[in-house]
């Protein structure tokens, strides 16, 4: 396949996830495309809104609730 026509999700599923699996990470230890912040709150006039939070391609855990790395490429 031509890498130039891949969307990010396709590239992640075809290359990044298999590379992490080959390195020993299993799906129970990885979370993909999950938010890790709530997003900042913006006040303007008498109104407020929350921007979209930030998310990484992968969050890697060594055990449940023990985050050790973010992977963003």
Kindly state the average pLDDT of the residues 50-54.
Answer: 89
The percent of residues above 90 in pLDDT, for the chain, comes to: 21
Query: Per residue in 4-20, pLDDT tens?
Result: 666 777 888 888 889 99
**In the chain, domain spans:** 3-71
Tell me the sheet residues that pair with 43. Answer: 48
Beta strands in 1-73 (DSSP E): 30-35, 41-44, 47-50, 55-63, 66-71
The residue with tokens 């890498």 is: 3
CATH of 3-71, one of 3.40.50.280, 3.30.360.10, 3.90.1570.30, 3.40.50.2020: 3.90.1570.30
d(CA 20, CA 7) in angstroms, rounded, equals 19
Q: Write down the pLDDT at residue 4.
A: 60
């Amino acid at each position: 396949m031509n890498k130039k026509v891949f969307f990010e999700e396709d590239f992640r599923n075809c290359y990044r996830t298999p590379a992490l699996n080959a390195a020993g990470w299993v799906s129970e230890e990885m979370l993909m495309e999950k938010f890790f912040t709530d997003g900042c709150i913006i006040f303007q006039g008498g109104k407020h809104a929350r921007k979209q939070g930030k998310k990484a391609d992968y969050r890697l855990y060594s055990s449940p609730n023990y985050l050790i790395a973010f992977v963003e490429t």
